[in-house]
């Protein structure tokens, strides 16, 4: 069951957060901002611990459902509702943290969703987080920002969680917290709204840590409600022989000026021999029962899976406490899933969000927490197709290139993910790519470009005019279809046209007649590739 003393690690994280918040008021060095990343990591670990504790409560509910569904179902349904409310609100806060990092640090959503706070460059920026969370430029009272929306959601969450308890009297013994009333700021010596107190003029690092702290409070509320629901079920299914004092804080840290609150109670448990744990199914296929090693009542399972999603099932066998012979055992089935994937790294250059017209543009699409097979990307302003190692976007010829970063047009990619119930939900915000015309190829004669100094001997062996894509990373080529040569011979200017990439016999004759210091101009070079266009030519000076 959930519940337990605050670990030394949690106490240390809480103390670090208090110290760092105070030091921010002194405008201390960037090393302090980096320390916020350490605190944020500790809070995320604490949140994971809460999730583990809550999972034990839900497993206890499942056991109780097997033994007496009549007494358990209503409370079990309420507990699952509490789990869903907590998960949805935490997911919203995760999205909010990703938005803050993406906008403030100018990173794509997919990168901001997975990047560690220590790797964020704009940790000290407070203008953008304040605008997103408080947005007093729209409404001076801060109600136009995301912070106010979160405040409203927290209030609704608190009411919904209290409504899940058996009777109103339970609310006095279950400290859900999540109060968002105005707060007196001793430093500013004034009363501030909850939004302003938590997010106004706070750097990005502090805002992200504050949101992680709120997730901590949400999971703590989930623990309190589900534990209360479970404790109301009959308890005679287990012979209690051990009591452990437990201190369960409403939150693992307290902001200076606030009060510390905690639940103190006795947790009852049973001292038993280690249970028998077996795994008997992997990915829906029965396997020979594999006994799992158990130490101190905890099983330790390990495997080397193949690539892809893995689901494993098994049973936990414990002695039936109501059987005096000790021969009967109760079995409790379990199921768990995880994803096995190749090690990979995704690099998304923030200033290269460009798609080129008329060429296949490779795109890598991923989302934290989703298998690639569960993603459904869509594209507007172009066409999106699956490729061997990702996706390809094609912008059709004739498309107008992007004028500037604000007016477009853009090619927009949106992604939805398959949820646990089979439905699909939009992930993050659509990502815009600028549309650009493929750059002009460069004209070459005798393997030289631009203003060319060349000997008559070198010129005599030149046979053609070429177009090359210098410095362009795509596998793309243009062919010269025609060009014009202008040359001065014996005081007369002569123009000749070639309807291919080759110098005509007349051109070669004229080239043989030029003398040192003469000039030859290659102009009107027409090329064809994904499209047809005219490119600048070359100016040739005969050196000898």
Degrees to nearest 5, angle at CA 28 with 27 and 33: 105
State how far the alpha carbon of 97 is from the alpha carbons of 102, 367, 393, 429, in Å: 8, 15, 29, 13
To the nearest whole percent, how much of the chain has pLDDT over 90? 26
Per cent of the chain over pLDDT 70 is 80
What's the pLDDT tens digit per position in 339-357?
676 544 444 544 468 899 9
Structure tokens at 55: 């999972």
Please give the DSSP secondary-structure letter assigned to residue 23. H
Instruction: Out of 97-101, 296-300, 535-539, pick the least confident.
Output: 296-300
Judge contact between 295 and 289, C-beta under 8 A: no
What is the rounded average pLDDT for all residues in the chain?
80
Whether residue 358 is predicted with pLDDT greater than 50 in this model: the reply is: yes
User: Please, what's the b/e burial string for 373-391 (b: 16 or more CB within 10 A of its CB; e: otherwise)?
Assistant: eebebebebbebeeeeeeb
pLDDT of residue 368: 67
Give the three-class secondary structure for 122: coil
Over 80: is that where the pLDDT of 403 sits?
A: yes
Mean pLDDT for 268-290 is 75
pLDDT of residue 51: 87
Rounded distance, CA 169 to CA 521, Å?
Answer: 95
3-state helix, strand, coil in the chain (%, to 5): 35, 30, 35
Of 375 and 257, more confident: 375
Question: For the chain, which residues make up each domain, given as ranges?
Answer: 8-271, 272-343, 354-436, 442-542
**Token pair listed for 192:** 């501030």
- Looking at residues 431-438, what average pLDDT do you find? 89
Residue 239's Cα: distance from chain center in Å? Answer: 46
Instruction: Single out the residue of 103, 99, 81 nearest to residue 147, CA to CA.
Output: 99
Per-residue model confidence as pLDDT tens digits over 321-338: 655 455 778 888 988 877
pLDDT on residue 168: 61
Among 130, 157, 156, CA closest to 145: 130
pLDDT at 476 over 90: no
pLDDT one-digit tens code per residue, 501-533? 999 999 999 998 888 889 999 999 999 988 899
Question: What span, in angstroms and rounded, lies between the C-alpha atoms of 496 and 527?
Answer: 17
Given its phi and psi angles, is residue 262 left (phi above 0), alpha (psi -120 to 50 degrees) or beta?
beta
Question: Per-residue pLDDT for 2 more than 70?
Answer: no
pLDDT of residue 255: 33
Backbone angles phi, psi at 404, to 5 degrees: -155, 180
pLDDT (tens digit per residue) in 50-77: 888 889 989 988 888 887 788 788 899 9
Whether the predicted pLDDT of 167 surpasses 50: yes
When pLDDT is averaged across residues 34-38 and rounded to a whole number, the result is: 71
**Res 83: pLDDT:** 93
pLDDT of 143 > 50? The answer is yes
**Which pLDDT tens digit goes with each residue over 234-248?**
544 544 444 446 454
**Conformational region of residue 79, where left means phi above 0, alpha means psi within -120 to 50, and beta covers everything else:** alpha
The model scores a pTM over 0.85: no
Output the pLDDT for position 175: 73
Sorted by sequence, the CB contacts under 8 Å of residue 109 that are 6+ apart come out as 98, 102, 428, 429, 431
Q: At 4, is the pLDDT very low, low, confident or very high (cuts 50, 70, 90)? A: very low
Residue 519's pLDDT is 92
Does position 49 have pLDDT exceeding 80, yes or no? yes
Q: Is a pLDDT exceeding 50 seen at residue 385?
A: yes
Cβ count within 10 A of residue 439: 12
- pLDDT band of residue 310 (cuts 50, 70, 90) is confident
Q: Residues 179-204: pLDDT tens digits? A: 888 877 776 677 888 888 888 888 88
Confidence label for 28 from pLDDT (cuts 50, 70 and 90): very low
Residue range 84-120, pLDDT digits in tens: 999 999 999 999 999 999 999 999 999 988 888 888 8
- Gap between the Cα atoms of 27 and 16, Å rounded: 16
pLDDT band at 270 (very low <50, low <70, confident <90, very high): very low
Task: With a cut of 90, say whether residue 149 has pLDDT above it.
Answer: yes
Higher pLDDT, 294 or 434: 434
Check if the beta carbon of residue 440 is closer than 8 Å to that of residue 535: yes
CATH of the domain spanning 354-436: 2.60.40
């Amino acid at each position: 069951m959930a519940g337990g003393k605050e670990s030394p690690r949690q106490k240390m994280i809480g103390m670090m957060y208090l110290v760092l918040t105070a030091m921010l008021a002194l405008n201390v060095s960037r090393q302090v901002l980096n320390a916020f990343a350490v605190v944020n990591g500790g809070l995320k670990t604490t949140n994971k611990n809460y999730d583990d504790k809550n999972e034990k409560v839900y497993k206890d509910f499942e056991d109780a459902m097997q033994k007496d569904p009549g007494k358990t179902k209503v409370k079990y349904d309420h507990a699952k509702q509490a789990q869903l409310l907590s998960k949805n609100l935490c997911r919203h806060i995760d999205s909010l943290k990703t938005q803050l990092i993406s906008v403030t640090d100018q990173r794509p959503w997919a990168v901001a969703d997975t990047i560690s706070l220590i790797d964020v460059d704009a940790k000290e920026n407070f203008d953008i987080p304040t605008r997103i969370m408080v947005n007093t430029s729209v409404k001076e009272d801060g109600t136009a920002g995301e912070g106010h929306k979160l405040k409203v959601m927290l209030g609704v969450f608190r009411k919904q969680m209290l409504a899940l308890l058996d009777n109103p009297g339970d609310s006095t013994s279950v400290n859900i917290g999540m109060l968002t009333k105005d707060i007196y700021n001793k430093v500013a010596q004034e009363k501030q709204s909850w939004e302003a107190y938590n997010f106004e003029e706070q750097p990005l690092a502090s805002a992200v840590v504050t949101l992680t702290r709120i997730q901590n409070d949400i999971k703590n509320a989930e623990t309190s409600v589900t534990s209360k629901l479970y404790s109301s079920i009959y308890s005679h299914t287990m012979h209690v022989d051990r009591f452990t004092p437990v201190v369960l804080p409403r939150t693992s840290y307290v902001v200076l000026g606030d009060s510390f609150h905690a639940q103190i109670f006795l947790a009852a448990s049973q001292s038993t021999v280690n249970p028998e744990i077996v795994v008997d199914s992997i990915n829906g296929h029965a396997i020979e029962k594999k006994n799992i090693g158990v130490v101190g009542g905890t099983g330790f399972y390990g495997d080397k899976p193949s690539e892809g999603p893995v689901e494993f099932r098994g049973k936990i066998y414990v002695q039936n406490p109501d059987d005096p012979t000790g021969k009967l055992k109760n079995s409790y089935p379990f199921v768990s899933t995880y994803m096995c994937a190749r090690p990979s790294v995704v690099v998304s250059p923030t200033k290269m969000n460009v798609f080129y017209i008329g060429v296949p543009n490779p795109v890598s699409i991923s989302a934290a927490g989703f298998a690639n097979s569960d993603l459904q990307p869509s594209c507007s302003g172009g066409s999106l197709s699956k490729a061997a190692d990702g996706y390809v976007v094609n912008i059709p010829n004739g498309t107008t290139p992007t004028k500037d970063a604000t007016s477009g047009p853009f090619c927009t990619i949106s992604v939805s993910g398959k949820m646990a119930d089979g439905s699909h939900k939009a992930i993050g915000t659509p990502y815009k790519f600028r549309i650009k015309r493929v750059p002009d190829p460069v004209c070459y004669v005798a393997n030289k470009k631009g203003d060319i100094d060349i000997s008559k001997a070198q010129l005599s062996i030149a046979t053609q005019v070429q177009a090359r894509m210098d410095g362009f990373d795509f596998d793309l080529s243009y062919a010269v279809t025609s060009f014009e040569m202008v040359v001065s011979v014996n005081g007369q200017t002569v123009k000749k046209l070639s309807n291919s990439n080759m110098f005509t016999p007349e051109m070669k004759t004229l080239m043989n007649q030029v003398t040192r210091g003469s000039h030859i101009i290659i102009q009107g070079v027409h090329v064809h590739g994904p499209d047809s266009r005219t490119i600048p030519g070359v100016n040739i000076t005969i050196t000898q």
